[in-house]
Structure 1
Amino acid sequence: MKKLISSTLLASLAAASSQAAIVQVTADITSDTTWTSSNEYILTDIIYVRDGATLTIGEGTIIRGEPSSGNFTFDPGALVITTSGRINAQGTSTNPIIFTTAAVDSNLDGIADGYDFFEDDNGTPDNADDDSNRVVADQTVVTGGVLQNGPFLDANPATSPLPAALYTGSGEFDPIQTFVDGSGDTVGLEYRQLWGGVIILGEAPINSDVTAAGGLNRQFIEGLPEDEALSGYGGFNPNDNSGVFSYVSIRHGGEVIGSGNEINGLTMGGVGFGTQIDHVDVYCNADDGFEWFGGTVNTKYLTSIFNNDDAFDVDEGFTGLGQFWFALMNADTENGDKGAEHDGETGDGNDATFSTSFSIPKTYMVVYNATYIGNPNKSTEAFRLRDNWGGEYHNSIFYGFGGSDAIEFESDGEGRFLGGEIIFSGNTFFDPNKGLTAASYGKSASGGFVETALDSIFSSTFGTTTANFIKDPAFRSLNRRDTTADGSGLSTVGVNPTPTDAQARANNGGGGSFGVPVTSTFFDATPNYKGAFDPSTGTTLWTTGWTALNARGVLVDRPDGNSIN
C-alpha cells in the first residue's frame, strides 16, 4: 500500500507550493473566468457564479474556503453555481481539483487559529450562538499573493491531506481527542465544518411549488439568501446543462451559512441531464456528502467518506441515474448516519396544485454498483426511505451499519414499495450483528403485511424472486484509521473495500443468476461483480490518485494491496 511522503520531501513540496500566488476571491464571478494551478484561491465569502459567466478550473487547482469570521456572522467561503452560471471543472485521476479549508495554523498545534465551536457554549442560555452548531476561526491575511499568517491548517492537501480528526489512541475505534476552545467548552477536535461547500443549481424539474421562488417547480436553497438570481433553482428543462464537474475532491466543509443549515459537500438543486458529474470525492463534511434536490443529472464514481451525516441524500423529485457510488462511514462513536436518506417530496410539494396523490415529478432514481459501508458503533441504517420516495438499487453491497435494520421504511414511504415502485434486487446485505435472519434487515413503521413483504426480499440463499443475498462479502480490510494518534502514520492494512466471497460479489453483468441487467445505456453493462469496485487483484481502484483517503495512504490503490507507484 502507498505510504505518505517523507517529511523531507513534504518540506520541499511545501516550499514549492508556497511559491504559488494566493488569490483571494472576494466578489461574485460575473464574466468568464479561469482558475489555474499556478495559484491557490481563497473563497472569503459565499461566491456566486452568475450572469451567464462560466468558471473554468484547471486540473490540480487548489481552492480554499474560509470558515465563518465571527459569532454573529454567517460568511464562510462557499462556491455557488447559479442557474445563470456554469462550471467547467475538469481535473484528472493524477491531478484532481481540490476544495479544502483556508483555516490557518500559525503555531502548528493542529488546531485552526481562533477556532471556536458553537454548541451549548458553557450552557449560557442567552448566547445567540447556542445550538447553532458551527465553527468560527481566524481569517487569512494575504499581501502581494503571499499568506502572512500561515501556514494553512491543511498545508499540503495534494500530498498529505488532513485526517478526519485527531484521536486519543491508535486503534480504529479510539475516541476523538478533546480540547478546550475559545469559549471554554471541551470539544472534539475534528477537521470538518471549516468552510462551506459547493452548490450547483439548475433548471431541471423539481416537485416543489413555492411562489416566492418564481412559481411552480421553483425553490430556494436553504441557508442562502432568498434571491431568485442567487439561490433559486428548478424549472421545466430536464436537459439543463450546468457544465462539467469531474475529478474533484471536496474536503472538511459543511459550515453553517444560514439559520440552522449546514451545506453538504456537493449540493445539487434542479441539476439537469446535460450536466456532467463524475469522479467526485466528499471527505469529512459536517453534513451530508451529496444531496440532490430534484433534478435529472446522472452521476458515476462518487465517494462519500467520513462525513458526519448521510452519505447520499435525495429529495424533491430526483429522477437521475447513478453507478459506482461508494460510502464509507468513520468507525468512531460520533459520526455517520444513513448510507442513503431518500425522500420523495417536501411538505410544500405541487401535489396540491394538481390535486394528485404525489407531487410531480415523482421521485424515481436507479442506482447500480454501490458499496455502502456503515459505522458499526452507531445505531444507523443503510437506508431510510420516506415521503413517497421511489427507485431501484441493483448489484450493490450494503455492509456493517450498526442499527437494527438495513432498510427502514417510515409510514409515508411504504405505499410505493407495496405498489412495486421500490425495488432492491441483485444486492448483497450483511452485518455481523444481524447475522443471517431476514427479519433483521428490514423495518416497516406499520409492521404487519408491509413488514412481511419487506422481509421477503432478503434471503441467506439466493432466490430468483428476490435476487438478494444475506451474505458476508468478506472485505479484504476495513481498518479506517492511521495507526498513530496524531494521524501522521499509516495503518498496515488500511481500507480495502473489495469483497472476497465469490457469491457475495458475483454478477455476470447481463443479469441471470447473480445479478440484474442494466436498464439504460448510461450504465456500464460489463461489470462481473457487485459493488463499486472490481475485486480482481490485478486492477486499480478508480479512487486511486485523486481521493483524499487514498492520498493519505489509508485507502489502498489495488485489491491486492500493492501500490501502483
Structure 2
Amino acid sequence: MKKLVFSLAIIASIFTGCSSDDEGTAQPVVGEITGTISANTTYAYGNYTLKGIVKIASGVTVTFDAGSTITANKTTGDNALVVLNGGKLIINGTASQPVVFTEASQTPGSWGGIIMYGDAPIKAIGGAVTATSEDGNNQTYGGTNAAHNGGSLNYVRVEYAGAKLADGTKENNAFTFYSVGSGTHLDHLVAYKGADDGYEFFGGTVSATNLISYGNYDDAFDWQDGWQGQENSNWYGYQTVKGNYGMEIEASSNDNAFFPKVTNVTLKRAAGTTPETAGAIEIDAFQFKKQGNGDFSNVVIEGYGDYTEGATVYHGAAVKIQDATTNTAQVLTSKIKITNAKISGTTQTTPVGATVDIIVAFPANTFTTSTTATGASSLTAGNWATVGTTNLLQ
C-alpha cells in the first residue's frame, strides 16, 4: 500500500506542477513522455525521457515548467516532439532555468527536434497553398489562418537534433516550423550542434526573437515556401567544425510581393569550419536562390573566408545570388535588402553571383556597409546560452 501511495504522489506531481519559486529547492520529477498526448498536460520541473514520435494533438495544450530537461535516446528508434496543427506547446523557461531538449549520446543528428505545424499561408512549389511535410510525418501544412497560434516557446534549447527519420531520406532540424502563424511566440531559443539546420521555416507568418544557432552542420537559418515573418530580431549564428550557409534563403521559385524582415543579425564562421559534404561548396554568409528575398538590417558578418578542397580554392562571400532569375526578379526590384552591414574576415565583401554570368548590382541603398553595425550583440549570456562550460555567444 505504501508503494502505491508513493507512486500516485509522483504521478500527481507531474501534472500539478510546482511554482517557479519552488524550483530551486524542489526535487525534479522523473518520468517518460511517449505516444500522442490527447489531454491538456503540464510537466512539472523535472527530468523526462522522450520516447518515440511524441505528438501533441489538435485542441491540446502541453506545458513544460522552467528548468526541465527532456532527453531522447537514439537507441530506442526515431524520436521527436511534434505539435500538430491546432495543438499548443507552452515552454516556460527562463534565462537562469531554460528548458533543455537533448539526446543521451550527445551525437549530432540523433533525434528529430521540435516540429510544429500550423495553417498559416504558404506558397510552395508552383504557387501551391498547401504541401506535405518533408520530415517523415507526411503532414499537410498551409492554410489561410495568418494568426495561427501554436503556443509560446521561451528560453528553450534543442541539442543534437537534425535526424534523418524513417527511411533515412526525411530530414529534420533543431526547430522546424511548418506554416506556423503570427500568434505563436518564439523567444530566446537555442539550436545546438544539430546535423541539419538550426531553424527552418516552411512558409507561415511567425516571427522569432533572440535566436542562437550554434554548430549546426547545415545552415544556421533556412526558409522556403514564402515565409514572411516581420518582427524578427537578434539572430546569432555561429558555425564551427561543419557548416554550410549562414542563411539559406529561397521562396520555392515564386516571385512573391512580400518578404521577411530581420534586424540585428550576426553570422560568424570559425576558422577551419568545413562544408557539411565534400564537393558541396556552401560557405557563404547569405545565399539567395529560387526567388528568395528579405530585408536585413544591422548585420555583422565575420569569418566567411577562403576554403580549399583539393587543388581548388573557393572564396567565401558575404552575399551570393545563386541563379539569374533571383538576381533579376529580387535583387533588381529591391526585394533583397542588406543594410548597415559590417563585414570582416570574408573574402568577397560585395554581393556576387554563383557563376560569372550572374552580374549582381544591388540598386542604390539596398546593400550598404558600415563599421558601426552591432548585429545581435544585445543578446545576454547566461544559463540559457551555455552548454557545459561553453558560452555560445562567442
Whole-Å separation in 1 of the counterparts to 2:366 and 2:199: 32
Distance 1:413 1:376, change over 3 A: farther
Which residue of structure 1 lines up, in the alignment, with residue 376 of structure 2?
532
Which residue of structure 2 lines up, in the alignment, with residue 406 of structure 1?
318
Which residue of structure 1 lines up, in the alignment, with residue 11 of structure 2?
none
Structure 1 segment 497-516 matched on structure 2, within 5 A: 503-505=371-373
Is 1:548 matched up with 2:386? Answer: yes
Deviation at 1:26, TM superposition (A): 2.3
Q: Any idea what the Cα deviations from partners look like across 1:460-496, whole Å, max 9, x if unmatched?
A: xxxx785313xxxxxxxxxxxxxxxxxxxxxxxxxxx
Unaligned segments of structure 2, at least 5 residues: 1-23, 275-280, 307-314
Which residue of structure 2 lines up, in the alignment, with residue 221 of structure 1?
133
Is 1:65 matched up with 2:72? Answer: yes
Q: Which amino acid aligns with 1:237?
A: N
Q: Which has the larger radius of gyration?
A: 1
Whole-Å separation in 2 of the counterparts to 1:271 and 1:222: 15
Is 1:373 matched up with 2:268? Answer: yes
Q: TM-score, normalised by structure 2?
A: 0.82
Deviation at 1:98, TM superposition (A): 0.5
Which residue of structure 2 lines up, in the alignment, with residue 512 of structure 1?
none
Contact 2:337-2:366 at 8 Å conserved across structures = no
Q: Any idea what the Cα deviations from partners look like across 1:71-113, whole Å, max 9, x if unmatched?
A: xxxx422000010211111211111111001x3xxxxxxxx4x
1:431 to 315, 322, 345: 345
Whole-Å separation in 2 of the counterparts to 1:556 and 1:300: 15
Q: Which amino acid aligns with 1:205?
A: P
Whole-Å separation in 2 of the counterparts to 1:292 and 1:279: 17
Is 1:244 matched up with 2:157? Answer: no
Whole-Å separation in 2 of the counterparts to 1:390 and 1:450: 17
Whole-Å separation in 1 of the counterparts to 2:200 and 2:353: 24
Which residue of structure 2 lines up, in the alignment, with residue 270 of structure 1?
179
Which residue of structure 1 lines up, in the alignment, with residue 336 of structure 2?
422
Which residue of structure 2 lines up, in the alignment, with residue 255 of structure 1?
163
Deviation at 1:548, TM superposition (A): 3.2
Q: Which amino acid aligns with 2:68?
A: T
Q: Any idea what the Cα deviations from partners look like across 1:402-439, whole Å, max 9, x if unmatched?
A: 3512211111321210111111111111225x2xxxx6
Structure 1 segment 281-430 matched on structure 2, within 5 A: 281-321=190-230, 322-330=232-240, 332=241, 335-345=242-252, 358=254, 362=257, 364-377=259-272, 378=274, 380-403=283-306, 404=315, 405-411=317-323, 412-415=325-328, 416-430=330-344
Whole-Å separation in 1 of the counterparts to 2:185 and 2:366: 35
User: Which segment drifts farther, 423-432 or 303-312?
Assistant: 423-432
Q: TM-score, normalised by structure 1?
A: 0.58
1:95 to 71, 94, 97: 97
Whole-Å separation in 2 of the counterparts to 1:235 and 1:556: 37
Whole-Å separation in 2 of the counterparts to 1:449 and 1:383: 16
Deviation at 1:51, TM superposition (A): 3.1
Q: Which amino acid aligns with 2:295?
A: E
Whole-Å separation in 1 of the counterparts to 2:326 and 2:292: 6
Deviation at 1:554, TM superposition (A): 3.6
Deviation at 1:282, TM superposition (A): 0.6
Which residue of structure 2 lines up, in the alignment, with residue 76 of structure 1?
78
RMSD across aligned positions (CA): 2.6
Give SS of 1:450's match. Answer: coil
Unaligned segments of structure 1, at least 5 residues: 1-15, 70-74, 104-111, 113-153, 155-190, 347-357, 458-463, 470-502, 506-529, 535-540, 558-565
Contact 1:283-1:548 at 8 Å conserved across structures = no
Q: Which amino acid aligns with 1:288?
A: D
Contact 2:136-2:170 at 8 Å conserved across structures = no
Q: Any idea what the Cα deviations from partners look like across 1:327-357, whole Å, max 9, x if unmatched?
A: 0011x3xx111000001116xxxxxxxxxxx
Contact 1:399-1:431 at 8 Å conserved across structures = yes
Contact 2:67-2:98 at 8 Å conserved across structures = yes
Distance 1:68 1:341, change over 3 A: farther
- Identify, as 1 or 2, the structure richer in strand: 2
Give SS of 2:137's match. Answer: coil
Q: Which amino acid aligns with 1:194?
A: S
Deviation at 1:225, TM superposition (A): 3.1
Which residue of structure 1 lines up, in the alignment, with residue 41 of structure 2?
33
Q: Which amino acid aligns with 2:372?
A: A
Q: Which amino acid aligns with 2:342?
A: T
Deviation at 1:195, TM superposition (A): 2.0
Whole-Å separation in 1 of the counterparts to 2:28 and 2:293: 48
Whole-Å separation in 1 of the counterparts to 2:332 and 2:74: 46
Aligned residues: 350
Q: Which amino acid aligns with 1:365?
A: P
Give SS of 1:384's match. Answer: strand
Contact 1:395-1:427 at 8 Å conserved across structures = yes
Q: Which amino acid aligns with 1:26?
A: T
Whole-Å separation in 2 of the counterparts to 1:245 and 1:25: 18
Structure 1 segment 126-205 matched on structure 2, within 5 A: 191-205=107-121
Deviation at 1:555, TM superposition (A): 4.3
Deviation at 1:63, TM superposition (A): 1.0
Which residue of structure 2 lines up, in the alignment, with residue 13 of structure 1?
none
Q: Which amino acid aligns with 1:35?
A: Y
